[in-house]
């Protein structure tokens, strides 16, 4: 069975992925929209995805969608969400992004059915970028993604401060943090905070994870953590 991640990359992202080698770079301007998409495929989807690409993608491009590099998920380290791919997307404005969500079912009536037939897991959070940002992810380094859902706002702020200090002390570097996202109906993920962190060595992350097991996150509503490559 083919993996949807390399299949999607072949159709959409191949020039960017090969051009950048092991380092994948991103640039977003203030006001642009960043999609964070988590996917897992159903079996035998090549023909289905080809139709999805031909029907849904032209509408997305019309509404300013710009494909971005994506990543395979290497391992799940905390939580119970089980996607196999981690994909970025870009839209020119929030109005364009939400305009697509409004228009797509009139243009492609079976849009959501197509997605269900192709993907057994599909979650989406989009973020309006508050200021110009640039960042890079080196696939030769161990990179973790951690999403937090809070219970109590004050406790959450204190938790994040301590947690980030522990990350830095353990050899991790936060390269992206996201908040105030939105998820379309039917594709909910939308953590209160999401971090992408690179580590000097995989062993640094292993030691950090060992010292910060699931019980360390008891003050939260939920946590989801995985590595990308």
How many helices (H) and strands (E) the chain has is answered by 7, 10
The reply to whether 11 and 120 lie within a common domain is: yes
Residue 8 is assigned to a structural domain of this protein: yes
Residue 111 is assigned to a structural domain of this protein: yes
* Full domain range(s) for residue 199: 133-228
Q: Express each pLDDT in 169-213 by its tens digit.
A: 999 999 999 999 999 999 999 999 999 999 989 999 999 999 988
Residue 76 is assigned to a structural domain of this protein: no
The reply to whether 150 and 115 lie within a common domain is: no
Residue 102 is assigned to a structural domain of this protein: yes
The reply to whether 183 and 90 lie within a common domain is: no
The reply to whether 140 and 188 lie within a common domain is: yes
In this structure, are strands 85-91 and 133-138 parallel, antiparallel, or unpaired?
unpaired
Give the residue from 96, 122, 119, 104 showing the smallest Cα distance to 34: 96
pLDDT, averaged across the chain: 91
| 19 has pLDDT over 90 | no
Q: What is the pLDDT of residue 213?
A: 86
Q: pTM of this prediction?
A: 0.91
Residue 154 is assigned to a structural domain of this protein: yes
The reply to whether 155 and 212 lie within a common domain is: yes
Q: How many domains does the chain have?
A: 2
* CATH number of domain containing 158: 3.30.70.100
Q: Express each pLDDT in 122-170 by its tens digit.
A: 999 999 999 999 999 999 999 999 999 999 999 999 999 999 999 999 9
Q: What is the DSSP-derived secondary structure letter of residue 182?
A: B
The reply to whether 115 and 151 lie within a common domain is: no
Q: What is the pLDDT of residue 216?
A: 84
The reply to whether 96 and 31 lie within a common domain is: yes
Give the residue from 33, 31, 36, 64 showing the smallest Cα distance to 131: 31
The reply to whether 93 and 15 lie within a common domain is: yes
The reply to whether 51 and 112 lie within a common domain is: yes
Q: How confident is the model at residue 227 (pLDDT cuts 50, 70, 90)?
A: very high
Percent of the chain with pLDDT over 90: 84
| 16 has pLDDT over 60 | no
Q: Which two tokens stand for residue 105?
A: 């079912």
The reply to whether 19 and 93 lie within a common domain is: yes
The reply to whether 111 and 202 lie within a common domain is: no
Q: What is the pLDDT of residue 165?
A: 96
Give the residue from 205, 170, 177 showing the smallest Cα distance to 74: 205
The reply to whether 112 and 171 lie within a common domain is: no
Residue 77 is assigned to a structural domain of this protein: no
């Amino acid at each position: 069975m083919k993996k949807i991640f390399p299949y999607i990359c072949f159709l959409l992202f191949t020039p960017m992925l090969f051009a950048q080698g092991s380092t994948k770079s991103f640039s977003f301007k203030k006001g642009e929209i960043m999609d964070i998409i988590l996917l897992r495929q159903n079996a035998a989807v090549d023909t289905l995805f080809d139709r999805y690409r031909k029907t849904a993608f032209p509408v997305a491009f019309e509404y300013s969608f710009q494909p971005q590099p994506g990543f395979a998920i290497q391992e799940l380290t905390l939580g119970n969400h089980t996607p196999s791919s981690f994909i970025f997307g870009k839209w020119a404005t929030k109005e364009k992004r939400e305009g697509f969500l409004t228009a797509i079912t009139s243009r492609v009536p079976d849009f959501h059915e197509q997605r269900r037939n192709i993907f057994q897991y599909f979650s989406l959070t989009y973020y309006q970028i508050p200021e110009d940002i640039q960042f890079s992810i080196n696939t030769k380094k161990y990179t973790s993604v951690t999403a937090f859902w809070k219970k109590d706002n004050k406790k959450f702020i204190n938790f994040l401060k301590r947690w980030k200090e522990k990350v830095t002390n353990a050899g991790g570097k936060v390269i992206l943090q996201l908040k105030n996202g939105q998820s379309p109906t039917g594709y909910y993920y939308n953590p209160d905070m999401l971090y992408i962190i690179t580590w000097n060595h995989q062993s640094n992350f292993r030691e950090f994870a060992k010292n910060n097991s699931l019980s360390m996150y008891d003050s939260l509503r939920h946590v989801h953590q995985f590595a990308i490559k």
